A = this chain, B = another copy of it.
Amino acid sequence: MAVYTEVSDEALAAFLSQYDIGTMVAFRGIAEGVENSNYALRTSGGDFILTLYEKRVEVADLPWFLGLMEHLASQGLTCPVPVKAKDGEALRTLCGRAAAITTFLPGVWPRRVRVEHCAPLGQALASLHLAGAGFAATRVNALGPHGWAPLLARAAPDADLVAPGLGDELREALNAILTSWPTDLPRGHIHADLFPDNVFFLDGKVSGLIDFFFAATDLFAYDVAVCLNAWCFEPDFAFNITKGQALLGAYDAIRPLSVAERHALPVLCQGAALRFALTRLYDWINTPAGALVTRKDPMDYVRRLRFHLQARSEHAYGL
């Protein structure tokens, strides 16, 4: 939950005057998203989200993110659509931050994932992968396999303070994962962070996908692995194979998984678990006391990683 930058009413009024979306009606900080400042904005023209981009989002990447969202929406995917100002530009500056207004999506993200959420999620993920096809520009996944060794190097000196032996455990896992990492699987634009709080549901259906600020061009099946990690573990860190089957079956029905993608699921899941373990570890060590964000326990993903390291095949996930 986060509002890092407070926007004064004068600054907001001046900002809105650059758009053709009516006059201010309401403006409330949203307690969701840990990377950016988000506001629910209502004008006489409708409902919108105003985002101020904070740390971790590269300003140079914002045109790619906003362009991808616009493209996905044009292909029928329900995601926030960047709203262009009178000058035709969606990406602007407010309070010294890069900022953009996007459309408001209805729906509620699931605080507790149930089996019934997993098939709609799988369908939405496959639809996202297909919808990205016509968007030509690419973005390297900074938090993909090439980014993990540097992340570990930065976090490793303090890893053993979180759990004794954790540094060695992660180093060993990283080496094994990189050695068997697949390179020839189908690629395209992936969300790379499709956690439950980024997926809205309404009446049992996905009503929208949000927060594309980790999106990149990478292996489709890696995105599936991120979702298996984020959606299919129970609070006791047991993998729920019924959820896995629902997610994978629904995905496969829209974008069939190749034999190679299926075989690679264990290592892809290991990599996805490692990626979130590493960024959480880094944040755990580097979040100052009294910060506005709740630190997330890196061990949640270390425990997922351990599950994936003992998975012998894709059958462990319900395939």
Contacts and interface: CB of A to CB of B under 8 A. Distances in A.
Q: Which of the listed residues A10, A31, A40, A42 has the most CB atoms from chain B within 10 Å of its own CB?
A: A31
A25 interface: yes
Interface in A1-45: 1-3, 6-10, 12, 24-32, 40, 42
Nearest to A37: B31
Given A28-B30, A201-B9, A42 B106 contact: yes
Interface stretch (A143-151, A253-261, A286-294): A286-294
A55 interface: no
A196 to B, nearest CB: 10
Interface string A259-300: 000000000000000000000000000010111101100000
Contacts of A24: 108, 202
Contacts of A287: 290
Contacts of A1: 1-3, 29, 31, 292
Classify the secondary structure of A's interface with B.
Answer: loop
A56 interface: no
Contacts of A40: 28, 30, 40
Interface of A: 1-3, 6-10, 12, 24-32, 40, 42, 104-108, 110-112, 114, 200-202, 287, 289-292, 294-295
| Top 6 closest pairs, chain A to chain B, by CB | A289-B289, A29-B31, A31-B31, A27-B108, A8-B111, A3-B31
